């Protein structure tokens, strides 16, 4: 009984040594997710990914490595190295609307910038034997950037009196810039013993290595309302404030590459 327990432990429990995760056999059941956390190197003698199972790469490391003597993939299997998405910027605060007569409204504040999308993970796959019974998707696209925050609306001006005009509306705050999309990672296949691997690309093995989408610039804040004359005299009304300028769009990320190392 003790010998059986030790045997099962060695097959299914990973060991971490020399900066790598080591399995004799790694089987992912349908829809099961395995995330590489402790290292950026996964070494396994036999890798079996059943339908819709997923491996999430260590996205804290720019490069990840998977070594498998034998790899079998079912339908809809995914290796996920997509960059972390950026965050949307915060909207600016509205300017103060004035109740005191003949006083201009406050300006809206500027929104904050959207953050950049994270870079996709570079993946190197070392394979000696492969069977793809369905489809394997390797996604190392860059993360989408966050949109810039909108500017705050300008505050309304105070009312006019007989001796003074109504206050002008406050200017809208400027919209902030969108973030830049993350660059995609690259996928490198090291599989000199599998010459048919190239013919699987685009059919059984789908590589997604798109640059992340750029973030949109935030809209400028609305014009503050003019303070109106209490006597109904249009000449004593204030002016509307100017609209805030729109923020600039970010830059899309760059696509990655697909490489083959046959030697």
pLDDT grade for 40, boundaries at 50, 70 and 90? very high
- Predicted pLDDT at 217: 98
Distance CA 203, CA 246 (A): 44
The DSSP code for 61 is S
- Mean residue pLDDT across the chain: 91
More confident residue, 263 or 85: 85
pLDDT grade for 230, boundaries at 50, 70 and 90? confident
Distance CA 162, CA 22 (A): 85
- Given a cut of 50, whether residue 13 has pLDDT beyond it is no
pLDDT grade for 15, boundaries at 50, 70 and 90? low
pLDDT grade for 258, boundaries at 50, 70 and 90? very high
- Given a cut of 90, whether residue 243 has pLDDT beyond it is yes
- Given a cut of 80, whether residue 17 has pLDDT beyond it is no
The pLDDT > 70 percentage for the chain reads 92
Which of 136-145, 188-197, 226-235 is predicted with the least confidence, judged by mean pLDDT?
A: 226-235
Distance CA 216, CA 230 (A): 42
- Predicted pLDDT at 263: 60
Question: Residue 28: which residues within 8 A CB-CB, separation 6 or more?
Answer: 34, 48, 49, 50, 53, 54, 55
223: left (phi > 0), else alpha (psi -120 to 50), else beta? beta
E-state strands within 105-173: 122-127, 130-132, 136-139
188 in Cβ contact with 123 (< 8 Å): yes
Gyration radius of the chain over CA positions: 29
171 in Cβ contact with 94 (< 8 Å): no
- Given a cut of 60, whether residue 6 has pLDDT beyond it is no
Tens digits of residue pLDDT in 152-173 = 999 999 998 888 899 999 999 9
Task: Read off the pLDDT of each residue in 14-25 and give the average, rounded to a whole number.
Answer: 75
Distance CA 212, CA 83 (A): 8
Tens digits of residue pLDDT in 177-190 = 999 999 999 999 99
- Predicted pLDDT at 229: 87
Distance CA 164, CA 157 (A): 13
The pLDDT > 90 percentage for the chain reads 81
More confident residue, 8 or 233: 233
Phi, psi of 86 (to 5 degrees): -75, 165
Distance CA 169, CA 236 (A): 14
Say how many CA atoms lie within 13 Å of 116 toward its Cβ. Answer: 13
Tens digits of residue pLDDT in 106-129 = 999 999 999 999 999 999 999 999
CA–CA distances in Å: residue 95 to residues 65, 169, 171, 194: 53, 9, 8, 65
117 in Cβ contact with 142 (< 8 Å): yes
H or E element that contains 259: strand 258-260
Which of 43-52, 70-79, 234-243 is predicted with the least confidence, judged by mean pLDDT?
A: 234-243
């Amino acid at each position: 009984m003790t010998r059986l327990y030790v045997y099962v432990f060695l097959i299914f429990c990973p060991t971490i040594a020399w900066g790598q995760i080591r399995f004799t056999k790694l089987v992912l059941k349908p829809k099961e997710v395995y995330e590489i956390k402790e290292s950026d190197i996964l070494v396994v003698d036999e890798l079996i990914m059943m339908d819709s199972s997923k491996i999430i790469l260590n996205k804290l490391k720019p490069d990840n490595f998977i070594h498998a003597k034998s790899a079998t993939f079912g339908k809809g299997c995914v290796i996920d190295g997509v960059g972390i998405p950026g965050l949307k910027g915060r909207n600016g605060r509205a300017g103060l609307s004035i109740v005191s007569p003949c006083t201009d409204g406050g300006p809206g504040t500027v929104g904050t910038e959207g953050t950049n999308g994270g870079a996709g993970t570079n993946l190197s796959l070392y394979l000696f034997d492969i069977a793809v019974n369905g489809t394997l998707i390797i996604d190392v696209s860059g993360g989408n950037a966050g949109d810039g925050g909108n500017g705050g609306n300008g505050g309304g001006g105070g009312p006019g009196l007989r001796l003074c005009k109504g206050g002008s509306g406050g200017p809208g705050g400027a919209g902030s810039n969108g973030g830049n999309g993350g660059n995609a990672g690259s996928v490198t296949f090291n599989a000199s013993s599998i010459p048919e691997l190239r013919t699987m690309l685009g059919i059984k093995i789908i590589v997604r290595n798109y640059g992340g989408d750029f973030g949109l610039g935030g809209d400028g804040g609305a014009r503050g309302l003019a303070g109106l004359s209490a006597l109904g005299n249009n000449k004593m009304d204030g002016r509307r404030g100017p609209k805030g300028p729109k923020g600039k769009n970010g830059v899309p990320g760059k696509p990655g590459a697909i490489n083959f190392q046959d030697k």
